[in-house]
Structure 1
């Protein structure tokens, strides 16, 4: 199996957030032949504005985001839910990754979303919105890669069942072949 790079977009900016810690644990538990790379600096990416998205003048943080995702084989969002939807920082990252239209860094990349929230719903609305947005942006959404977990039910960082679901989600994302989506 060739080496697979997974770019991880963390929807929470808080340094000690549960979702950042989940993302770090995914990196630590990555299967052999897989590197899980957290895309840092999302807080430095300005809100998307087509006026500043011009060849030669793209803000440096947005250019780094695009380069990291373009270099990856897969993209995984690890995100909480804010007010019933995805965090603005994640939406903004997807906006930048969707451009230029039809040729953005996320175009054709297998994409999944996992995460936890301290609510009974586990982030399912944020995850559904993230999947929809990424799909519209050109990503190939891998349906088997969604883990929405309530942090009220279990300690999401230590629960073996949650760990197993996260590991299976990463494996499904890595093993996904885009050709099978067309079949």
Structure 2
């Protein structure tokens, strides 16, 4: 059986984003032989607009995102919470990869959602909105792989999440659950 390829999309474009650091730590927890890669380039993807989503004329950055998601066996979304919801960059990625509706790269793709926020709420509103958008888009949301990190500004102020044993254990569990869902998809394909 081939090993799953997991693609991580980070909903914060900030270079020092703790959500990005959570994604980096998640990459390090991947089971042996499983590739987990963080997608670079979400900041270049234009806002979704049906007028530019025309076969043969899709913007290169949007097509590259679609191709990367389509080539993956599972998707790990890491979302901050902006104004009580998911970030525009992550929602935009969902919009582009859900099209054409019913046949987009997200259709039936196993997806895990991790959320992190400076608030004790742990970005649970953003998490819920992301899960809702993924479900409507046709993704297969892996409930066992959900994870919430609250008060990340304090918890990870002096240390990278990869240096936090509890965070690594939780991330490893989420990644393992996503990998198992992806393996199930590979077997049934």
Give the structure-2-normalised TM-score: 0.90
Q: Does 1:144 align with 2:149?
A: no
Which residue is 1:154 aligned to? 155
Distance apart, 1:149 and its partner CA: 0.8
Of 160-169 and 84-93, more deviation after overlay is shown by 160-169
**Residue 98 (structure 1) shift:** 0.5
- Root-mean-square deviation (CA, aligned residues, Å) is 1.5
Ranges in structure 1 where 5+ consecutive residues have no aligned partner: none
Q: Of 163, 167, 172, which residue of structure 1 is paired with 2:168?
A: 163
Structure 2 partner of 1:8: 8
Superposed, 1:25-44 pairs within 5 Å as: 25-44=25-44
Give the length in aligned residue pairs.
179
Higher RCO, 1 vs 2 (CA within 8 Å, ≥6 residues apart): 2
Equivalence map 1:82-101=2 (5 Å): 82-101=82-101
| Residue pair 1:115, 1:147 contacting (<8 A) in 2 also | yes
* 1:173 Cα deviation after fit: 0.6
Asked if structure 1 preserves the Cα contact closer than 8 Å seen for 2:113 and 2:146, the reply is yes
Secondary structure at 2:172 match in 1: helix
Deviation per residue, 1:60-108 (Å, 9 max, x gap): 0000000000000001101111111000000000000010010001111
TM superposition shift of 1:28: 2.3
The alpha-carbon deviation at position 25 of structure 1 amounts to 1.7
Q: Which runs of 5+ in 2 are unaligned?
A: none
Post-superposition Cα deviations, 1:114-159, rounded to whole Å, max 9, x if no partner, equal 1321111111111111111011111000111111111156337133
Q: Which has the higher helix share?
A: 2
